[in-house]
Structure 1
């Protein structure tokens, strides 16, 4: 059985895409192949049904089927399930279903509404009460997508007051100072440590690691880049970590285009043999022939860049 996420969790919890057929159905065979692909590249865990997993476009039955497929394939690898939902009862039900099936925790984003911290604070207290005290929570802080900024002070209050909130998915941008503040808080007696994994495609991963992040929770189509960067950093080889990471930056940057980037990510995953189709579920981005040729060129350039000597553990 996989270990539950906790305040010491580290490494790369890759955000998994959800493969669809060209007709728009969930492709469970590709999903199993994708899990194998991620595992083969050494990830520490998986996160499914996040924003880039297109969970908001799925029915409840489809979400449960995705959970079933991934957990049946992932073995003892920790799996975090995105359970955010406008309805608290739906969120609690999916959380319980996930944990009963063997998930290692759930990820929750603030509910839509006024950008007031008292409302967000009350919401997470309600979530923790609704899902039960045995369910570890990863709080997703992604104000660029949600429009709901969460201060480091509020994150700390929630982490202190709610034992279940053990992990932060940090996606504030700019946000390096927030990581520094959160880690600085932990020098005070009685302050609980918080696992911090970062998103935004990994754009700022080397700097985030240097500020005190424990790893990444994002979905770059080259998971080995994230895994090796984190491993080199952990080994104290920070310059080598940045040198390696820099080789991937052009294609990583291309994949981070708002809205369109998911199409790029899925296309690259398809070209790498991880999924059968690059289809996104409507409404979603579609790659034109020019877009595909552009991505192919970036992949070829990366392959040439990787032919040189690379720092390895």
Structure 2
């Protein structure tokens, strides 16, 4: 399962001016990040705007990514929700699951379950899929934080729960998970800006937003850190510092789509409502930072 260490890129879904999935730009993006040196692809994550896509569109996006990838890198599929029974149903019926090497499953949003409720939810998921499961804790989006204790219990109780994407930004919680996790469990940063310090205390990688647009620079930083070359890694981290902030200044994935459009990787920075494109001021700032 170490193939899920290093840099996973949370792929955006390019849309054209009419709001439809832009297949050409998506294929271009897949090749761009692979050529940039990322270690695996993440489809249908938060950054993909999967919440605004139809079931047919999600299936189409996964198929296009898998076709263009052509077996070069592992693919992680975002499969989650706030209705446990629906997630179980999806695991049993979604045809495109066969194209993935693992699933990324977010903590249930809106419902605000207890810690026992979170354990029960992921227990059910682990018991209904043969695929490796990467837990995803992102309280800033879901309004519920999964504690280190529950993360560790899930890691110990289920062999196919192999990793966590931890996006709480809480170093104390991250430290507790890293210090107590089983030997082969993988800790992944869910925040680009703190990936380097998290690697310094034992994280094995990151599922990244910035790697969409700067796959070479960001992958180099992360790989150097994993090899213990912190001096060089720190230089890249500091160079990327302003971009880390700018990409999230008006929300994700608005910032990363602006950066991809400015670089010419995607043809249009269109987002689906209720999200909207960044301001012209921020667009120009992102272009300037990328020069």
Mark the runs of 5 or more structure 2 residues left unpaired by the alignment: none
Residue equivalent to 2:133 = 137
Tell whether the 8 Å contact from 2:30 to 2:65 is kept in structure 1 after alignment. Answer: yes
Instruction: Spell out, residue by residue over 1:254-282, the C-alpha distance to the aligned partner (whole angstroms, 9 max, x if none).
Output: 1122x534222101111212111111111
CA RMSD in angstroms, aligned pairs only: 1.8
Q: Residues 227 and 181 of structure 1: is their aligned pair in 2 closer, same or farther, counting only changes over 3 Å? A: same
Question: How far is 1:89 from its partner?
Answer: 5.0
Question: How far is 1:70 from its partner?
Answer: 0.5
Residue equivalent to 1:214 = 204
Tell whether the 8 Å contact from 1:262 to 1:285 is kept in structure 2 after alignment. Answer: no
Tell whether the 8 Å contact from 1:176 to 1:211 is kept in structure 2 after alignment. Answer: no
Larger radius of gyration: 1
Q: How many Å separate the matches in 1 of 2:95 and 2:104?
A: 11
Residue equivalent to 2:101 = 104
> Does residue 224 of structure 2 align to residue 232 of structure 1?
yes
Q: How many Å separate the matches in 2 of 1:177 and 1:160?
A: 20
Residue equivalent to 1:35 = 30
Q: How many Å separate the matches in 2 of 1:122 and 1:152?
A: 16
Question: How far is 1:180 from its partner?
Answer: 2.2
Residue equivalent to 2:75 = 79
Question: How far is 1:80 from its partner?
Answer: 0.3
Q: Secondary structure at the match of 1:280?
A: coil
> Does residue 52 of structure 2 align to residue 57 of structure 1?
yes
Question: How far is 1:124 from its partner?
Answer: 0.9
Tell whether the 8 Å contact from 2:63 to 2:96 is kept in structure 1 after alignment. Answer: no
Tell whether the 8 Å contact from 2:37 to 2:219 is kept in structure 1 after alignment. Answer: yes
Question: How far is 1:79 from its partner?
Answer: 0.6
> Does residue 171 of structure 2 align to residue 165 of structure 1?
no
Question: How far is 1:225 from its partner?
Answer: 2.5
Q: How many Å separate the matches in 2 of 1:7 and 1:155?
A: 19
Instruction: Spell out, residue by residue over 1:257-309, the C-alpha distance to the aligned partner (whole angstroms, 9 max, x if none).
Output: 2x534222101111212111111111112233333222222223xxxxxxxxx
Residue equivalent to 1:287 = 278
Tell whether the 8 Å contact from 1:95 to 1:106 is kept in structure 2 after alignment. Answer: no
Tell whether the 8 Å contact from 1:232 to 1:241 is kept in structure 2 after alignment. Answer: yes
Among 38, 62, 87, the alignment partner of 1:91 is 87
Q: Residues 93 and 41 of structure 1: is their aligned pair in 2 closer, same or farther, counting only changes over 3 Å? A: farther
Residue equivalent to 1:273 = 264
Question: How far is 1:114 from its partner?
Answer: 2.8
Question: How far is 1:95 from its partner?
Answer: 3.7
Among 141, 148, 152, the alignment partner of 2:148 is 152
Tell whether the 8 Å contact from 1:31 to 1:275 is kept in structure 2 after alignment. Answer: yes
Tell whether the 8 Å contact from 2:259 to 2:283 is kept in structure 1 after alignment. Answer: no
Q: How many Å separate the matches in 2 of 1:293 and 1:27?
A: 24
Q: Secondary structure at the match of 2:108?
A: coil
Aligned length: 286
Tell whether the 8 Å contact from 2:112 to 2:143 is kept in structure 1 after alignment. Answer: no
Instruction: Spell out, residue by residue over 1:192-234, the C-alpha distance to the aligned partner (whole angstroms, 9 max, x if none).
Output: 531111122x111110110111011011131223211111112
Residue equivalent to 2:288 = 297
> Does residue 1 of structure 2 align to residue 11 of structure 1?
no
TM, length-normalised to structure 1: 0.86
